[in-house]
């Protein structure tokens, strides 16, 4: 079974990028009608979330809230200096599981899929595996 890949070029140190359309395109390309997809971020300073897609200021607020919870500068020991990014990544998580019906992602009206960058700018990727659960009758 094929594992698809989306390339994501981030341009800020911290950034939340809407990737809903990119994921939907991969589903259409796969030809799978009904099932689910697993989205996986193979990085230690990024993550993937599902969140509001209507008001763009939500993304800014989320980054602000994360920064209050986990300040960039702190009494950290990691020599690379990006411990806050590692911690935010763990809190966000590295995968999402989303249902597919009639070749469409099942998301709520106000939901979008987001790639969260915490230590950019970098060239990132998202791995996608699509599982077919087509009914035989
Ligand atoms: Zn590090």
pLDDT above 90 for 135? no
For residue 1, pLDDT over 80 is answered with no
How many whole angstroms from 113 Cα to the centroid of ligand 1? 25
Q: Does the model's pTM come out above 0.85?
A: yes
Question: How far, in Å, from the CA of 65 to the mean position of ligand 1?
Answer: 21
In the predicted structure, residue 39 carries a pLDDT above the cut 60: yes
User: Given pLDDT bands bounded at 50, 70 and 90, which one contains residue 136?
Assistant: low
Mean pLDDT within 21-40: 97
Q: Which long-range contacts (CB under 8 A, 24 or more apart) does 97-101 make?
A: 97/36, 97/37, 97/38, 97/39, 98/23, 98/36, 98/37, 98/39, 98/50, 99/35, 99/36, 100/27, 100/32, 100/33, 100/34, 100/35, 100/36, 100/37, 100/130, 101/34
User: Which residue has 């599981």 as its token pair?
Assistant: 97
- How many angstroms separate the alpha carbon of residue 40 from the centre of ligand 1? 19
Q: pLDDT tens digit string along 53-103?
A: 999 999 999 999 999 999 999 999 999 999 999 999 999 999 999 999 999
Give mean pLDDT, residues 13-28. 97
Helix axes 57-69, 83-92, angle to 10 degrees: 120
Per-residue pLDDT at 123 = 98
Contact 43, 82 (CB under 8 A): no
Edge to edge, the sheet with strand 95-101 lists: 3-9, 123-132, 35-40, 95-101, 104-105
**Residues with a beta carbon under 5 angstroms from ion ligand 1:** 80, 82
Domains identified in the chain and CATH numbers: 16-132 (2.60.120.460)
């Amino acid at each position: 079974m094929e594992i698809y890949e989306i390339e994501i070029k981030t341009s800020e140190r911290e950034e939340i990028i809407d990737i809903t359309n990119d994921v939907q395109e991969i589903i259409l390309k796969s030809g799978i009608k009904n099932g689910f997809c697993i989205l996986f971020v193979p990085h230690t300073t990024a993550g993937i979330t599902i969140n509001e897609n209507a008001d763009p200021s939500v993304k800014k607020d989320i980054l602000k809230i994360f920064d209050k919870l986990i300040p960039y500068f702190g009494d950290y020991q990691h020599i690379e200096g990006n411990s806050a990014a590692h911690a935010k990544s763990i809190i966000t998580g590295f995968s999402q599981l989303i249902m597919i019906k009639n070749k469409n992602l099942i998301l709520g009206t106000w939901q979008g899929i987001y790639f969260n960058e915490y230590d950019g700018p970098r060239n990132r990727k998202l791995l996608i595996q699509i599982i077919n659960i087509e009914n035989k009758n």
